[in-house]
Amino acid sequence: MNQKSRKRFWYWLLLMPCVAVVCVPMFNKLEPAWHGIPFFYWYQLLWIPLSAVVIGVVYIATRERSPGNAR
Amino acid sequence: MSVVAVSVFIFFFGLVTVLGFIAAHWRKADLNSLHEWGLAGRSFGTVITWFLIGGDLYTAYTFIAVPALVFGAGAMGFFAVPYTILVWPFAFIVMPRLWAVAHRRGYVTAADFVRGRHGSPLLALAVAVTGILATMPYIALQLVGIQVVVAALGFPTAGFWGELPLIISFAILAAYTYTSGLRAPALIAIVKDILIYVTVIAAIVVIPAKLGGYGAIFSHVSTEKLLLKAPDSGSLNGFSAYLMLAIGSALALLLYPHSLTAILSSSGGNTLRRNMVLLPAYSLVLGLIALLGYMALAAGVDKLPQFAGYFGEYKQNFAVPALFLTMFPDWFVGLSFAAIAIGALVPAAIMSIAAANLFTRNIYCEFVKPDCTPAEETQMAKWVSLIVKVGAVAFAIGLPQQFAINLQLLGGVLIIQTLPAVIIGLYTTWFDHRGLLVGWFMGIVGGTAMMAAQQFKSPTYLLHLGAITIPGYAALYALLLNLVVAAVVTLFCRAAGLRRANDETTAGDYADVMRT
């Protein structure tokens, strides 16, 4: 596997948060509640920071230097 | 009316006005070039881009309307959360590519790209007109955000004195946008976003404490409101509508002219990629703000006699201001209302700049005055940004509020029809430009017809497939129609051997990172 296709592999990770929030039947329920917040709400809210982590991992793994933007 | 609240509100409003004019001198450059006035020289780094995109996309109206929808409709209103989760991974892949080609070829608008990529001025015109049409009611809606908080501060809401705060705020906005261009909203966005974060953190700590905790808040909401309606034998009910609203809104968001303006003003692909990691912070704020809808329900603000008149006029949109008035001390009410009002100015400024760029580049200089110089182009854009704002004020004052809300819903259905030409166009020119144009037209007509079937009140269209009803977002159904028509016409053009238009971009234009 060359370097480029190995980088491609990382991009598939971006599907993770997307799949997690499109499985509506899986999370459309009240229990288990967390501190009185029904599952439907805390589950989806939790995926916001998780999605940031996933995107961050993909960014670090695929990062390349770009012209004039080498920080 | 509380003097303290009004004073704090006016203080912050004055502060951003000064900042707006100072912005002309910030990162000083020649503001007679559209790249400088309209895109701030494509120079913003990670932090400014973060404030700018966040301040631009999470508008005042969003902060009023999302909790209002949760307040009124319950779980369905929470679609804003999956919507904003879906949008950033998508943007991570797509937007650095668009930035790269726009940077190399000097494109300022999406229509510029379409013109270059598909070689069709007519298709570019279609994209430009769609962008302007979708943006106008959106600007008018920002005024609704200001109207609601100004009324909540206790100012009169009717007649000349009622309209005056709106007219003043937009006149100031128009003046500093004219002189400073995109630099003004970028600088103001920093103040706006800090105020929003402070407000939201206070709200999710203070309000639940007063209402007896989150458990108590949710116990006030009925079960059928807390969850989506599950599918039954005849219909997919809430599931398909929720899913399609989230996906369709995510696809549409980045096609709005003001989104692209903010994205193109960043300094590079990696700046954008880093932002896609950091922008979910705003999504979290939006998700927490959505919960304010339930807090307002639990507090029973719509049943308090002092707010009856406001709920009569602004309906559910008054839920959040009423909640803040009930829960916060006066000075903090002033701060949080300033956050919402300033939150209206940032997107309104960027939207008017984006609409002005589109009009000038893709209509005026393309069809009316093909030999216009960069200085003439910029001057024209400045004037158009003024006209757009006057139009928005006239729109907000002259027409019922519901009209602007309905038109904004329609705007989402319209703007997504540019996806095949813009986003798919970034990856392939398989579609013939004639196919894209006919597909766009059918998508616009089909989407508008679907919205008309709901009297433009709801973006949800009920698709009947045999015995099953699939409620879904009209924008996505219309996009499907658009794509099918575009593909059929493309195949027809191939079969007829019609000549392809010239693509001025090359494969290398799309790479924003150095490869060895």
Q: Which tokens is B300 given? A: 């029973």
In chain B, the percentage of residues whose pLDDT exceeds 90 is 43
**Position with higher pLDDT, B400 vs B255:** B255
Torsional sign, CA A11, A17, A21, A26: positive
Rounded mean pLDDT, B233-253: 90
Among A56, A58, A65, the residue with its CB nearest the CB of B514 is A65
Task: Tell me the three state secondary structure of residue B467.
Answer: coil
Highest mean pLDDT among A43-57, B218-232, B445-459, B497-511: A43-57
For the beta carbon of residue B393, count every other beta carbon within 10 angstroms: 20
Q: Quick one: which of B368, B365, B355, B363 has its CA closest to B395?
A: B355
List CB contacts (< 8 A) between A8 and chain B: none
The answer, yes or no, to whether residue A38 has pLDDT greater than 90, is yes
Between CA B513 and CA B516 the distance in angstroms is 10
CB B54 within 8 A of CB B277: no
B455-497 residue pLDDT tens: 888 888 888 888 888 998 999 999 999 999 999 999 999 998 8
Domain boundaries along the sequence of chain A: 3-62
List CB contacts (< 8 A) between A63 and chain B: 270, 273
List CB contacts (< 8 A) between A64 and chain B: 513-515
When the pLDDT of each residue in chain B is averaged and rounded to a whole number, the result is 89
Between CA B337 and CA B152 the distance in angstroms is 9
pTM: 0.91
B305-328 residue pLDDT tens: 888 888 888 888 899 999 999 999
Between CA B357 and CA B382 the distance in angstroms is 9
CB B322 within 8 A of CB B310: yes
Residue B65 confidence class, pLDDT cut points 50, 70, 90: confident
Angstroms from A1 CA to nearest CA on chain B: 17
Instruction: List Cβ<8 Å contacts ≥24 apart for A16-21.
Output: A16/A54, A17/A47, A17/A50, A17/A51, A17/A54, A17/A55, A17/B85, A17/B86, A17/B89, A18/B85, A18/B86, A18/B89, A20/A47, A20/A50, A20/B85, A21/A47, A21/B81, A21/B82, A21/B85, A21/B86, A21/B246
CB B447 within 8 A of CB B417: yes
Query: B67: number of CA atoms within 13 Å, CB side?
Result: 30
- Quick one: pLDDT at residue B306? 85
B359-378 residue pLDDT tens: 999 999 888 888 888 888 89
Bridge partners (DSSP) of residue B169 are: none
Q: Which of B85, B97, B283 is best to mutate for the A interface (most A CBs within 10 A)? A: B85
Beta-carbon separation of A25 and B512 below 8 A: no
B163-192 residue pLDDT tens: 888 888 888 888 888 888 888 888 888 988
Task: Tell me the three state secondary structure of residue A47.
Answer: helix
Residue A66 confidence class, pLDDT cut points 50, 70, 90: low
- Quick one: pLDDT at residue A69? 46
Between CA B69 and CA B390 the distance in angstroms is 29
**If residue B260 lies in a helix (H) or strand (E), which one and from where to where?**
helix B257-264
Q: Which of A6, A10, A24 is best to mutate for the B interface (most B CBs within 10 A)? A: A24
List CB contacts (< 8 A) between A37 and chain B: 214-215, 218
The answer, yes or no, to whether residue B145 has pLDDT greater than 90, is no
Angstroms from A70 CA to nearest CA on chain B: 9
DSSP string, B335-396: HHHHHHHHHHHHHHHHHHHHHHHHIIIIIIIIII-TT--HHHHHHHHHHHHHHHHHHHHHHH
Instruction: Taking each helix axis as running N to C, give the angle between helix B330-358 and helix B159-180, from 0 to 180 degrees, rounded to the nearest 10.
Output: 60
Cα maximum dimension of chain A: 50
- Quick one: pLDDT at residue B515? 42
Rounded mean pLDDT, B51-72: 86
Among B81, B243, B273, the residue with its CB nearest the CB of A44 is B81
CATH dotted code for B3-400: 1.20.1730.10
CB B83 within 8 A of CB B250: yes
The answer, yes or no, to whether residue B47 has pLDDT greater than 80, is yes
